[in-house]
Amino acid sequence: MDIVLTGDRPTGKLHLGHYLGSLKRRVEMQNSGKYKDIYVMIADAQALTDNFDDINKVRNNISEVALDYMACGLDPNKVTIYIQSQIPELCELSFYYMNLVTVSRLQRNPTVKNEIQMRGFNTSIPVGFFTYPISQAADITAFKANLIPVGEDQLPMIEQAREIVRSFNTIYKEVLVEPKAILPDNSTCCRLPGLDGAAKMSKSLGNCIYLSDSSNDIKKKVQSMFTDPTHLRVEDPGHVENNPVFIYLDALCKDEYFAEFLPEYANLQEMKDHYTRGGLGDGKCKKFLNEILQNELKPIRERREELAKDLGYIFDTLEKGSIKAREVASKTMQEVKTAMGINYFGENKLN
Ligand code: ATP
Ligand code: MG
C-alpha cells in the first residue's frame, strides 16, 4: 500500500498556491482512506537554510502552518503532522546521502538555481541551502514514502531523491523506496502565479493571497491584480493568456459559479471568448473572481479562527506527531546503517 509524504516550509502562512497545488490533494487522499500512511512535515530545518538569522520567523510560523493544515481539513487522527527538526535521523541520513551526490549535480537543479537568484545568494550561497535537495531526499526516504503530492517547482527535488535512492540501493542494499511526484490534475494549479502574474505565488515574494486573509484583504488584493496591459478600454480585445485573473479563474472556477454570480455566461469559455473579442471589462472579471475566492476561502478562514483559540491543542498534536514520526524514521535509519555496515555493536559487533 502507498505511503504519502509532503511538507511545507514555515516561512509564512500558507497561500492559495499551496491550497490548489498540494493541500487540496492531501485532504482528498486523507479522506479516501486508500493510503497506508500519510505524513505531513513542517520543514523548519529546511526553512532555516535561507532564514538562519531569522529564527523567530521560522518559529512563529510553525503554528501558523499547522493551523492552515487543519483549517483546510487535514485531520491529525488520520495523518501524522510533525516538525522536521524533531527528527534528528533526517540529518543523519542526509549526511550519508551527501556522499552520493556531486556538486555539479546540485548546481544543475533548476529550482535551486532560480531560488539562489531570487534570494540574491549568487556569490555567497550557504552550504545548507545549496544541499537542501539532499535533505529533502532524507525527509522522503526516512518514511519510505512513494507518493509525493507537490507543485511543479518540486519536480527536480523528487528526481534528485530518486537518483539518491537508486545509488544507495545499488551500492549498499535494497532498503530505500523510489518516490514519485503527484502533480495537481489541473495544470494551472501546478504553479500558480503571484498577484503580479510574474513569478509563482510564494511566501518569500509577498505576492500571495493567504488562506487566512480577511474578506476585505482578498477584495483589495483582487482589485489590485495585474491583468492584460493591452486591454485599456472595455471594448478593446483582451488576452486571457498570462493574465493572472484568468489563470486564477482556470484554477478555481466551476460552472455553478456562473449560475450563482455571473449568469450571463454558462461557463468560463464563454466568458473568455467575450474578453478576447472585446467588450468585457477587467472590473467585472475581478468582481467575479472575488466572489469565487470569498466562497472558497470563507470556510477555511472560519475554521482557522476557531482552531486558533486553542494553540495548546495544536502544539500537543505536533508533539505527538513528531514522536510517532521519529519512531518510523529511526527504524529506517537502523536499516540504512546495517546496509552500509556502520553498525559496530550489538549483534554485528566488531571483534
Ligand atoms: P518559500 O517562498 O519559503 O519557498 P513557498 O511559497 O514556495 O515558500 P513551500 O513551503 O516552499 O512554499 O512549498 C510547499 C509546497 O507547496 C510544495 O509542494 C510546492 O510545490 C507547493 N507550492 C508552493 N507554491 C506553489 C504555487 N504557487 N503553485 C502551486 N504549488 C505551490
Ligand atoms: Mg518554496
Q: What pLDDT, in 10s, does the model give residues 25-64?
A: 999 999 999 999 999 999 999 999 999 999 999 999 999 9
Q: What is the average pLDDT across 210-224? A: 97
pLDDT band at 288 (very low <50, low <70, confident <90, very high): very high
| CA of residue 47 to ligand 2 center, whole Å | 9
Helix (H) or strand (E) segment spanning residue 3: strand 3-8
232-243 confidence digits (pLDDT tens): 999 999 999 999
Ligand nearest to the CA of 182: 1
The predicted structure's pLDDT at residue 118: 86
Q: What is the average pLDDT across 268-272? A: 97
75: left (phi > 0), else alpha (psi -120 to 50), else beta?
beta
CA distance 156 to 331: 27
143-176 confidence digits (pLDDT tens): 999 999 998 899 999 999 999 999 999 999 999 9
CA distance 162 to 136: 11
The predicted structure's pLDDT at residue 195: 93
Q: What is the average pLDDT across 223-233? A: 93
337-350 confidence digits (pLDDT tens): 999 999 898 776 76
174-213 confidence digits (pLDDT tens): 999 999 999 988 888 888 999 988 888 988 788 999 999 9
The predicted structure's pLDDT at residue 121: 86
Ligand nearest to the CA of 25: 1
User: Is residue 214 packed enough to be buried (19+ CB in 10 Å), middle (13-18) or exposed (0-12)?
Assistant: exposed
Determine how many CB atoms are found less than 10 A away from the CB of residue 56. 8
| CA of residue 347 to ligand 1 center, whole Å | 44
CA distance 55 to 193: 28
User: How far is Cα of residue 337 from the mean position of the Cα atoms in its chain?
Assistant: 30
Question: Which residue's CA is the nearest one to ligand 1's atom 21?
Answer: 151
| CA of residue 97 to ligand 2 center, whole Å | 22
The predicted structure's pLDDT at residue 122: 74
Question: Which residue's CA is the nearest one to ligand 1's atom 13?
Answer: 8
| CA of residue 134 to ligand 1 center, whole Å | 18
Could you give phi then psi for residue 349, rounded to 5 degrees? Answer: -55, 140
Which of 11, 18, 118 most suits a substitution to test ligand 1, by most atoms within 8 Å of the C-beta?
A: 18
The predicted structure's pLDDT at residue 350: 65
Biggest alpha carbon–alpha carbon distance for the chain? 86
The predicted structure's pLDDT at residue 322: 98
Ligand nearest to the CA of 194: 1
| CA of residue 114 to ligand 2 center, whole Å | 11
Please state, rounded to an integer, the average pLDDT across all residues of the chain: 95
Q: Above 90 in pLDDT, residue 228?
A: yes
Q: Above 90 in pLDDT, residue 6?
A: yes
Query: Which residues does ligand 1 sit against, CB inside 6 Å?
Result: 8-9, 11, 17-18, 21-22, 150-151, 153-154, 191-192, 200-204
Question: Which residue's CA is the nearest one to ligand 1's atom 23?
Answer: 18
Question: Which residue's CA is the nearest one to ligand 1's atom 16?
Answer: 18
Ligand nearest to the CA of 111: 2
3-state secondary structure 93-156: HHHHHHHHCCHHHHHCCHHHHHHHHHCCCCCCCCHHHHCHHHHHHHHHHCCCCCEEECCHHHHH
The predicted structure's pLDDT at residue 351: 62
Ligand nearest to the CA of 9: 1
Q: State the pTM of this model.
A: 0.93
| Closest ligand 1 atom number to CA of residue 23 | 16
* DSSP annotation of 21: I
| CA of residue 202 to ligand 2 center, whole Å | 7
15-29 confidence digits (pLDDT tens): 999 999 889 999 999
| CA of residue 192 to ligand 2 center, whole Å | 12
| CA of residue 9 to ligand 2 center, whole Å | 7
* DSSP annotation of 336: H
The predicted structure's pLDDT at residue 348: 67
Instruction: Give, in degrees to the nearest 5, the angle at Cα 310 between 307 and 315.
Output: 100
The predicted structure's pLDDT at residue 340: 96
71-119 confidence digits (pLDDT tens): 999 999 999 999 999 999 999 999 999 999 999 999 999 999 999 988 8
Which cell numbers in the block locate residue 103? 556538486
Percent of the chain residues topping a pLDDT of 70: 99
